[in-house]
Amino acid sequence: MTNCSEKGPHLLTSHGKIIKLPVTDTDSLFMRRFCENPEGKPVLMVHGAIEDSHIFYSESGLGLAPFLARQGFDVYVVDFRGHGCSRPAISRESHYGQYEMICEDFPAMLHAVRRERGTSSVSLVAHSLGGVIASASLVRFPELRKYVSAMVYFGSKRVVQARNIQRFMKIDLMWRMVGGILCRLYGYLPARQFSFGADNETLGYFRESCKWIRPGKWVDPRDGFDYGKGARGIVFPPALFIAGAGDKCLGFPGDVRAFMDEHGQDQPFHFLLLSRGNGNLLDYGHIDMLTGKDASHDHFPQVAQWLLNPSNLNKSG
C-alpha cells in the first residue's frame, strides 16, 4: 500500500514538502520534494508505466531521489495522474491517457518546479516510458525546452523490438493479451491487483501505448502530431540514456539506443550501459537499475556527477 502521509521521519528531508498540483477540476498530481539544500540544482523525476514515483525512493530513505538530495540537489518526484498518491485513483471512470500526460501532466510538473525555484532551469530524470512522455512534451511545446538543462533517461524506449522469451511473456502475453482482456472486463488496466505492475493504467493509456510500442512512426494516436518529425528539427538539452545489460525487454539496450536515435542526429546525447563488462557490479535490469541495493554506490554517483556537468560522459566517471 502506497504511503501518502505528508509527514514522517524518512519520507522527506529537512527542507522537503508536499505539493498537490491540480491539472483539472477533478484531478491533481502529487509531488514530493526531497531537499537538504534549497539552493541546489532542481531535478524533476518522472516515472514510467504501471508504476508510481516510488521507483525513485523508499519510505526508509533509499533510492535515487534521497541520494541526489544528500548530494545537494533539490529533487521533485511526481506521481502522474491517477498513480501513487495523485487523486482520484485510476478507475473505469478515468477518461484520459497518454495524450493528457504529454499535453497537461508533464507541463504542469515542470511549471510547478519552476514556481518553487523561480527562474532556475530544471534537470529531468525519467524512467522507462516516462522518458517518452517527457520527450514528446518537449517536442510538442517548444517553450518548455528552454526550462530543461539536462535529461537522464533510465531504460527509456518507445518501440519494443527485442526478440526473446522475456518479450513474449511481458509484452505479447501479459501486456497485449492479458492486459487487453482485463481492460475489457474492468474498463481500465488493473495491473496492481493482478501483480504485474506497481500501479494501474487507464484504458486510454493502454490503447495509445500499444500503438507506440509497435515499430512505426512516432505519431500521436489521438491527433496525428508527428513527434518524430518534430524531434529531428530541434536541438535537445544534453541527455544521458542509461540501459541495463540484464534488461532483455522493457528497456532492452538496443531499444533504448533506437529511442535515442529517434530524437535525431547530432544531438548532445550519451549512452551508458550498466554492465559488469563496463565495470559495474551487476548486469542491471529494468527495475533494479533504480532500486538495487548496490546502485547507490555503483552508478548513482556517476549520475550525480553528470548532472553537475552534463557535457561529457567521460567527466562523470
User: Mind listing the pLDDT tens digit for each residue in 148-192?
Assistant: 999 999 999 999 999 999 999 999 999 999 999 999 999 999 999
Query: What's the chain's average pLDDT?
Result: 93
With 70 as the cut, is the pLDDT of residue 77 above it?
yes
Which of 9-23, 29-43, 84-98, 255-269 comes out lowest in average pLDDT?
A: 9-23
Q: Would you say residue 144 has pLDDT above 70?
A: yes
Write the pLDDT tens digit of every residue in 24-41.
999 999 999 999 999 999
Residue in the structure block whose three cell numbers are 544531438: 267
pLDDT in the model for residue 209: 94
What CA–CA distance (Å, rounded) separates 140 from 24? 20
Look at residue 16 in the predicted model and tell me its pLDDT.
73
Cis peptide before 88 (omega within 30 of 0): yes
Q: What structural domains and CATH numbers belong to the chain? A: 17-158+223-316 (3.40.50.1820)
267: left (phi over 0), alpha (psi -120 to 50) or beta: beta
Burial of 299 (0-12, 13-18, 19+ CB in 10 A): buried
Contact 264, 301 (CB under 8 A): no
Reported pTM: 0.94
Q: At what angle do helices 179-186 and 203-213 cross, to 10 degrees?
A: 160
Q: Measured between alpha carbons, how far is 196 from 298 in angstroms, rounded to an integer?
A: 28
Q: Does an H or E element contain 19, and which?
A: strand 17-22
